[in-house]
Structure 1
Amino acid sequence: MSNEYRAKVFKSGNSVALRLPKALGIAEGTEMIVREERGRFELEPVEAPKRKFAIGKVCGSATNLQPIAQEDRVFKDRALDWPISQ
């Protein structure tokens, strides 16, 4: 059998809000999906998106980078691990 909690709806700005008890274990800032069906409400947390790497946040932080001079772009000859096909 599930636990039962009581909570009161209150006004928050131009909306109404429902404060959920801490005992439910929902972390602060959790985004929730709310469904209304026949006068009943269902709540479920939104699945957290997979983290993506944003290069835009990194590229602006390296402000002292300079282009490599043409004469410094020369590579030394070395033995290859594969045959060269022409």
Structure 2
Amino acid sequence: MGNEYRAKVFKSGNSVALRLPKGMGFSEGDDVVIAPHEDGSFSLWRESEGAQVLMRLYGSVSEGFMADGRGDTRADIRDWNARPGAAAA
């Protein structure tokens, strides 16, 4: 794990804000993506680095990931001859 940084949340108008330490490498005007996680933590990265973040996540998937399928979906039978926009029977 890299360096640990601490910051304080403060009120800014009708919002709350987080001032990031300069050592984190963000610059004024950077567009940042903030992704909340179910456990209450979050990740953030520069919007311009989205493709690199995706590739790091893809590379972190274990070899057997989804070997048995998703297990939560089923494929519906579709009538591919139906008119576009027509309700399914």
Instruction: Give the deviation of 1:2 after TM superposition.
Output: 0.6
Counterparts of 2:12 and 2:42, CA distance in 1: 19
Cα deviation 1:15-66 (Å, max 9, x = unaligned): 1000000111111110000111111111010118xxxxxxxxxxxxxxxxxx
Secondary structure at the aligned position of 1:30 is classed as coil
Counterparts of 1:25 and 1:42, CA distance in 2: 15
The aligned counterpart of 2:48 is: 47
The normalised TM-score by structure 2 is 0.51
The aligned counterpart of 2:17 is: 17
- Map 1:1-86 to 2 at 5 A: 1-38=1-38, 39-47=40-48
Consecutive aligned runs of 4 or more in structure 1 exceeding 3 Å deviation: none
Secondary structure at the aligned position of 1:23 is classed as helix
Question: Alignment identity in percent?
Answer: 56
Counterparts of 2:34 and 2:26, CA distance in 1: 14
Q: Which runs of 5+ in 2 are unaligned?
A: 50-89
Counterparts of 1:7 and 1:14, CA distance in 2: 20
Secondary structure at the aligned position of 1:43 is classed as strand
Q: Which runs of 5+ in 1 are unaligned?
A: 49-86
Secondary structure at the aligned position of 2:23 is classed as helix
How many residues align? The count is 48
Secondary structure at the aligned position of 1:47 is classed as helix
